[in-house]
C-alpha cells in the first residue's frame, strides 16, 4: 500500500483525472483499453510498490501519461498528433506489451518446418525457423515500419554468412573453417533484429469462422483467430470518400429522387486522419482456411486496408463535358509568312 494518506489521495485524484480524459476519446475500444491501463497503473502504485523510491517513480510515470492524454484531447499542433497516435499504437499493439504478445505466435510458428541442427551434438544450435506469415511481413514495406522490404531468401544462411563460411572457398582456405557457433549466432541475431522492426499483423479469416475453429488442428488454431472486427470498426469510423456533389441543375432534373444521406463516419477530419495513419501501420494477413496454411503451394501475403492514409482516393471530381472540354483545346496556330509578318487581307 502507498505510504501516507496524502499520497493515496493524490493517486486517487490522479486516477479521476485519468478516467475523465479517457472518456473524451472517440472510440469504444480505445476507451476500454485505456481504462484497463489506468486501473493497472494505479494498482501498481498502490499495491505493488514496496519501496518509496519506486512508488514515486511510478507515480511520476502516471502523471506523464495523464498529461499526454490532455495533450491528445487538445487536438492542436504536432505534439497533439503524436500523443493521440501514441495511445492508438498502444491499444492496437503497434508498441508496448501487446505488440510482443501479438508477435509471439508469428515468430514461433508451429507450422514452420524445423531446421536441422548446425552442431549435431547441440540441440540449441538449430537456426531460427521462418513461418509463412513472418516471411510475408518481412517482404512488405508497411509491415517493416516503412523500411525497404526484404527480397525472397534474404534470410537464408547463404545470404547472411560471409564468404569464409562457404566450404572450399578462397576465404575458407585462407582463414580456416568457419565457426559453427558463430554461424548460429549470426542467423539468430538477424532474426531478433528483424522481429523488432516488424508490426504484428491482424489475421483475417473467411466468413465461416466457427467451422474453421472447430475443424482446425492444434497447430493451426493460433492462425484461425479473427480480429474481432477491430479493423472493420476503424474503417467504419474513417468512412469512404465523399461522393461527387450534385449541381443545382442536376438536382432540379432529378427532383425529389435524390436524397443526400450523411456519411456514417466520424465528423472530425482530425480524428479520421489519425485512424487512417494507424491503418498504414496495421498489416493484414489473409488466411482462406486453416487447412490451406499447411499446403505446400499456399501463399500468404501481407497488405494494408484500402482506407489507409495515402490509399483512400481523394474526393471524386466531376467529369468534363464536351462544352467545357472545348474551352481547354488550344487555338490553332496561324502560320507566319516568310519574313515573319502576317499577310494583310
Tens-digit pLDDT string for the chain (345 aa): 555 544 788 889 999 999 999 999 999 999 999 999 999 999 988 887 667 778 888 889 999 999 999 999 998 899 999 999 999 999 999 999 999 999 998 898 888 889 999 999 999 999 999 998 899 999 998 899 888 899 998 999 889 998 888 887 888 888 888 899 999 999 999 999 999 999 998 865 443 444 544 454 444 444 434 466 888 899 999 987 766 677 777 778 776 555 555 567 888 999 999 999 999 999 988 765 555 545 555 577 888 888 888 764 455 566 777 777 787 777 666 666 656 555 554
Compute the residue count for the chain: 345
Which residues is 39 bridged to in the sheet?
Answer: none
Q: Where are the beta strands (DSSP E) in 188-234?
A: 202-205
Q: Which of 45, 36, 52 is nearest to 8 (CA)?
A: 45
- Phi, psi at residue 181, to the nearest 5°? -65, -40
Q: Which of 281, 275, 280, 285 is nearest to 233 (CA)?
A: 275
Decide the pairing of beta strands 202-205 and 284-287: parallel
CA 168 to each of CA 45, 157, 163, 173, 180: distance values in angstroms, whole numbers, following the listed order: 61, 16, 10, 7, 16
Cβ-based burial of 310 (10 A; exposed 0-12, middle 13-18, buried ≥19): exposed
| Packing angle of the helix pair 5-22, 28-47 (nearest 10 deg) | 170
Q: How far apart are CA 144 and CA 201, in angstroms?
A: 11
Contacts of 259 (CB under 8 A, 6+ apart): none
Q: How many CB atoms lie within 10 A of CB 49?
A: 19
3-state secondary structure (DSSP) of residue 273: helix
Q: How many CB atoms lie within 10 A of CB 27?
A: 17
User: Three cell numbers at 311?
Assistant: 490509399
Q: How many CB atoms lie within 10 A of CB 75?
A: 14
Q: What are the extents of the domains in the chain?
A: 5-91, 112-197
Q: How far apart are CA 51 and CA 45, in angstroms?
A: 10
Q: Which residue has the cell 497533439?
A: 80
Per-residue buried b or exposed e for 133-149, using 16+ beta carbons within 10 Å of the residue's own CB: bbbbbbbbebbbeeeee
Q: What is the reported pLDDT for 343?
A: 53
User: Three cell numbers at 129?
Assistant: 525457423
Q: How many CB atoms lie within 10 A of CB 273?
A: 14
- pTM of the full structure: 0.76
Q: How far apart are CA 303 and CA 137, in angstroms?
A: 9
- How far is Cα of residue 156 from the mean position of the Cα atoms in its chain? 26
Q: How far apart are CA 8 and CA 14, in angstroms?
A: 10
Amino acid at each position: 500500500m502507498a505510504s501516507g494518506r496524502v499520497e493515496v489521495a493524490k493517486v486517487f485524484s490522479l486516477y479521476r483525472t485519468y478516467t475523465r480524459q479517457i472518456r473524451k476519446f472517440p472510440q469504444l475500444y480505445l476507451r476500454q483499453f485505456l481504462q484497463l491501463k489506468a486501473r493497472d497503473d494505479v494498482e501498481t502504485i498502490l499495491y505493488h510498490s514496496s519501496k518509496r523510491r519506486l512508488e514515486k517513480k511510478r507515480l511520476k510515470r502516471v502523471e506523464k501519461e495523464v498529461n499526454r492524454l490532455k495533450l491528445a484531447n487538445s487536438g492542436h499542433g504536432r505534439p497533439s498528433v503524436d500523443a493521440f497516435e501514441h495511445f492508438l499504437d498502444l491499444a492496437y499493439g503497434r508498441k508496448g506489451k501487446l505488440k510482443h504478445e501479438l508477435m509471439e505466435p508469428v515468430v514461433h510458428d508451429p507450422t514452420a518446418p524445423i531446421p536441422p541442427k548446425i552442431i549435431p551434438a547441440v540441440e540449441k544450435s538449430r537456426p531460427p525457423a521462418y513461418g509463412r506469415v513472418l516471411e510475408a511481413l518481412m517482404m512488405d514495406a508497411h509491415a517493416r515500419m516503412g523500411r525497404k522490404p526484404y527480397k525472397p531468401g534474404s534470410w537464408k544462411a547463404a545470404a547472411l554468412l560471409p564468404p569464409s563460411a562457404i566450404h572450399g572457398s578462397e576465404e575458407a582456405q585462407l582463414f580456416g573453417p568457419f565457426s559453427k557457433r558463430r554461424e548460429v549466432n549470426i542467423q539468430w541475431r538477424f532474426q531478433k533484429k528483424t522481429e523488432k522492426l516488424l508490426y504484428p499483423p491482424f489475421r483475417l479469416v473467411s466468413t465461416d469462422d466457427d467451422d474453421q475453429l472447430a475443424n482446425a488442428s492444434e497447430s493451426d488454431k493460433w492462425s484461425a483467430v479473427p480480429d474481432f472486427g477491430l479493423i472493420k470498426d476503424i474503417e467504419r469510423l474513417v468512412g469512404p470518400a465523399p461522393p461527387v456533389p450534385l449541381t443545382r441543375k442536376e438536382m432540379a432534373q432529378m427532383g425529389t429522387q435524390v436524397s443526400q444521406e450523411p456519411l456514417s463516419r466520424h465528423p472530425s477530419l482530425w480524428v479520421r486522419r489519425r485512424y487512417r495513419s494507424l491503418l498504414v501501420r496495421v498489416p493484414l494477413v489473409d488466411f482462406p482456411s486453416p487447412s490451406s496454411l499447411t499446403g505446400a503451394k499456399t501463399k500468404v501475403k501481407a497488405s494494408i486496408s484500402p482506407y489507409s492514409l495515402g490509399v483512400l482516393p481523394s474526393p471524386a471530381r466531376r467529369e468534363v463535358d464536351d462544352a467545357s472540354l472545348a474551352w481547354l483545346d488550344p487555338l490553332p496556330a496561324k502560320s507566319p509568312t516568310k519574313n515573319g509578318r502576317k499577310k494583310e487581307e
